[in-house]
Amino acid sequence: MFTSSSSVLIPEVCEVGRGKLKPNQIHWCSGVFTTCEVINSIFQMHPLKSPGPDRLPVLFFHKYLNIVGEDISNLALEILNSGKDPSSINNTGISRIPKCKTPISPNDLRPISLCNIVMKVVTKTIANRIKEILPL
């Protein structure tokens, strides 16, 4: 179940992008992340899609950002800027949603992951930064 028929060698994949970035792009990617970037990431997330292990949707964080925003932002920035190990917040639950009324095989189920909001914010902030330099 959940296996791929082809294998990818990670070192080969990493070599594809090496030497392709301009100095200003490297500077942009390696710069310090800001609170503004983190807050923007929170508001770019769909408010009602897959809540995390705490069962709170992103809408909660949109609505109560004035209360929880500083804590979320500080933790995300600590992970992004200082390289803090995110394993303590990277607990992800995986659930299977049926694609049809009577699922029979694994192909009839869609896996979804329920990630912690801070982890979603961290990955969204990184993705936003990368989007600025990668062509579509």
* Residues of the domain holding 53: 32-131
User: Does 22 reside within a domain?
Assistant: no
Higher pLDDT pick, 41 / 5? 41
User: Does 62 reside within a domain?
Assistant: yes
User: Does 64 reside within a domain?
Assistant: yes
User: Does 79 reside within a domain?
Assistant: yes
Q: Residue 17 has what pLDDT?
A: 54
User: What's the total number of domains in the chain?
Assistant: 1
Highest mean pLDDT among 57-71, 105-119, 121-135: 57-71
Q: In the beta sheet, which residues pair with residue 114?
A: 93
User: Does 24 reside within a domain?
Assistant: no
User: Does 89 reside within a domain?
Assistant: yes
Q: What are phi and psi of 69, to 5 degrees?
A: -60, -40
pLDDT in tens, 1-39: 444 444 444 455 445 555 677 777 777 778 899 999 999
User: Does 16 reside within a domain?
Assistant: no
User: Does 14 reside within a domain?
Assistant: no
